[in-house]
Amino acid sequence: MEEHVENNRRKLMKQTLLTILLLFISGFVIHIKAQAPDENLIYNPDFESYQDCPRRIDALGVLTIVDAWFQPTNGSADYFNTCGMKECFVPNNKLGIQEPHSGNGYCGIYCSKTEYREYLQTQLKWKLKEGEKYRLTFHVSLSEYSSGSIATIGAVFSNYRLFDTIKSVLMKKEERKISKNISQTTSTYYTPQVVNNYDNVLINTKGWDRISGEFIAKGGEEYLTIGNFFPASHSNVTDLDSLTYLLPGAYYYIDDVSLYCLTCPPPYDPPKDTTEYKIGNVFILKNIFFDFDKSNILQESYNELQKLIEILKSHPNMKIEIGGHTDDKGTIEYNQKLSESRAKAIVKYLVNKGIDERRLKHKGYGELCPIDTNDTEIGRFNNRRVEFKILYI
């Protein structure tokens, strides 16, 4: 009897030790996983997703066809792809010769020698967290058609979308009230959180240079803008005998952008959607942008449409109506047609992204359903909107 009790005791001890060992191993694995950030916060980081193949380089053009990326100024950023026409082809195109760092496509921007500037901008998947450390990496290649090279290409993270109608250095503008009826606007240079070293001139025309840096987020940063935020006199402009001098400035191709949180506790999940969806509910899509008086969707809308796609994917039986609305400027007939074509454009976009067309309807309401006054600019802005209404859930 005593021998049987002793055997049971030893057996129990072995099981206990095994359990402790398994718990230790599991805890160790979880700890290791916690140190491995695995979520790139950049949509379309390699420029492989696009609405249409690029056809031409337009000095007055607007970057609209490469998903999630757009330009914050009137300086026209460019898109190149192996499917593009001659001017935008890869590797040989109107602005240089370069194979992609990866995949089939890349973008290109003027970064200096003159004060002319172009920039690339995108909205991050989620806002950055205060006090956390992040690492940004992207790759650049100097076009051999350039008339010089620079060093100070960098990136600015901001809580809001940077925007200006200029074609020069993108600067921060602040309005200061001097008196009741007088105000003064001052411009200051942005300070990039990540910037290539001034002494490291980016002269690689055969391959790609890697720009990378770490920074601590202040919290709430939601937009990334890439380019040269310094005047030419502070950009370390360097002339090279190897360049052809066909272009008026330093032109750089950009590819493979990544942003990872190095200290965020896993899992690095987006805020959970706690919205209750019911038949008849109407939701305004707040950040949908179109060309002026047109139905062409601008890439500034990408994140908002991505959220709608995720809602539809997480509710596979949901059917919705996309409704377009305008303010009261213009004729009733014109506004009706414009609102309908914009709603139709949203449906087409969703279908192209894999949403079953049978789940989608569109309708233009024109100026007939305002949610605010049309007597003020803010009111008219609120009335110019796109909504989705739940038809079935």
Q: Is position 309 within any domain?
A: yes
226 and 79 in one domain? yes
Domain residue limits at 157: 69-261
Q: What is the residue-wise DSSP string for 167-188?
A: SS--EEEEEEE-SSS-EEEEEE
350 and 225 in one domain? no
Q: Is position 257 within any domain?
A: yes
pLDDT in 10s for each residue of the chain, 393 residues: 444 434 444 444 444 444 333 333 333 333 333 333 478 999 999 999 999 999 999 888 889 899 999 999 999 999 999 999 999 999 999 999 999 999 999 999 999 888 999 999 999 999 999 999 999 999 999 999 999 999 999 999 999 999 999 999 999 987 777 776 777 778 899 999 999 999 999 999 999 999 999 999 999 999 999 999 999 999 999 999 999 999 999 999 999 999 999 998 876 566 677 888 999 999 999 889 887 778 888 999 999 999 999 999 999 999 999 999 999 998 999 999 999 999 999 999 999 999 999 999 999 999 999 999 998 888 888 888 999 999 999
Integer Cα distance of 219 and 128 in angstroms: 5
Integer Cα distance of 143 and 220 in angstroms: 35
Q: Is position 2 within any domain?
A: no
90 and 199 in one domain? yes
Give the chain's domain count: 2
Q: Which of 219, 222, 217, 216 is nearest to 159 (CA)?
A: 222
Integer Cα distance of 80 and 100 in angstroms: 9
How many CB atoms are located within 10 Å of the residue 195 CB?
18
304 and 158 in one domain? no
- CATH code: domain of residue 174: 2.60.120.260
pTM to 2 decimal places: 0.82
Of 197, 232, 261, the position where a domain reaches its end is: 261
242 and 130 in one domain? yes
List C-alpha distances in Å: 183 to 119, 177, 378: 29, 4, 22
Helix 332-352 vs helix 302-314: crossing angle, to nearest 10: 60
349 and 200 in one domain? no
Q: Is position 238 within any domain?
A: yes
Integer Cα distance of 68 and 70 in angstroms: 7
Q: Is position 111 within any domain?
A: yes
310 and 353 in one domain? yes
223 and 137 in one domain? yes
Which tokens hold the place of 311?
A: 């809602």
Which tokens hold the place of 31?
A: 């700890």
313 and 195 in one domain? no
Integer Cα distance of 84 and 193 in angstroms: 34
Q: Is position 333 within any domain?
A: yes
Q: Is position 6 within any domain?
A: no
Q: Which of 95, 91, 82 is nearest to 243 (CA)?
A: 95
- CATH code: domain of residue 310: 3.30.1330.60
Backbone angles phi, psi at 312, to 5 degrees: -65, -35
230 and 152 in one domain? yes
pLDDT computed for residue 271 by the predictor: 65
pLDDT computed for residue 20 by the predictor: 36
Q: Is position 381 within any domain?
A: yes
Burial (CB count within 10 angstroms: exposed 0-12, middle 13-18, buried 19+), residue 348 = middle
How many CB atoms are located within 10 Å of the residue 336 CB?
18
Which tokens hold the place of 120?
A: 């690339």
Q: Which of 303, 339, 343 is nearest to 321 (CA)?
A: 343
Q: What share of the chain is helix, strand, coil (3-state, %, to 5)?
A: 20, 30, 50
223 and 133 in one domain? yes
Per the CB < 8 A criterion, the answer to whether 151 and 199 are in contact is yes
Per the CB < 8 A criterion, the answer to whether 140 and 207 are in contact is no
Query: Mind spelling out the 3-state secondary structure of 305-358?
Result: HHHHHHHHHHCCCCEEEEEEECCCCCCHHHHHHHHHHHHHHHHHHHHHCCCCHH
299 and 243 in one domain? no
Q: What is the DSSP secondary structure assignment for residue 131, as one 8-state letter? A: T
pLDDT computed for residue 289 by the predictor: 87
Task: Please name the residues in contact with 56: beta carbons below 8 A apart, sequence gap of 6 or more.
Answer: 85, 87, 88
